Amino acid sequence: MKQPVDLIKDKKLKENFTAYLNSKSPEEKSRVVSEYRDWFNGLSAEEQVAATTAIMDNVSHVVAGVRDNLEELDSTIIRSKLGDVPQAVSLSYIATQCGKSKSWLSQRLNGNKVNGKEARFTQSEVKAFQDALHALGQRLLSISLL
């Protein structure tokens, strides 16, 4: 999983952001911001426009990367929360309760690539998966053998 600072392409912006993150005190953070502001104000109008465009491009790139990291984290969290449940119950049964196939569910649980992209759950799919697990749990709890 990439760190946000690793997603910044512009060298000057990356250096400044890293210095800001590594600052130990509010005064040091203020100094880093002030130095960057002074550098920016020393640019010509055209250079300021180019620098602002570069900042916006980098922000968009970082936001997209953070979004990817969060989606990757979601799959990791789901897998860890399931623990050994996939070995204990039929994933095929759970998948059919969600209206999906076993391979579909397995692809998302394992983060397999499908059509060149990592397969991930949407929020509604996570909800359907959770509902299917809860329904199965309720059925199992209702079983009385004696």
For residue range 114-132, list pLDDT tens digits in order: 898 888 888 788 889 999 9
If one counts every other C-beta atom within 10 angstroms of the C-beta of residue 136, the result is 16
If one counts every other C-beta atom within 10 angstroms of the C-beta of residue 87, the result is 8
pLDDT digit string, tens, across residues 19-77: 888 888 989 989 988 988 898 899 899 988 888 888 888 787 777 777 766 666 577 78
CA gap 120, 107 in Å, rounded: 8
Diameter over CA atoms, the chain: 84
With vertex at residue 24, the alpha carbon angle to CA 23 and CA 29, rounded to the nearest 5 degrees, is 45
Higher pLDDT, 86 or 8: 86
pLDDT of residue 2: 64
Q: How confident is the model at residue 14 (pLDDT cuts 50, 70, 90)?
A: confident
pTM (two decimals)? 0.51
Q: Where are the alpha helices (DSSP H) in 3-146?
A: 11-22, 26-41, 45-82, 85-88, 91-97, 102-110, 123-142
**Local structure of residue 113 (DSSP, 8 states):** E
Which residues does 137 contact at the CB level (< 8 Å), separation at least 6? none
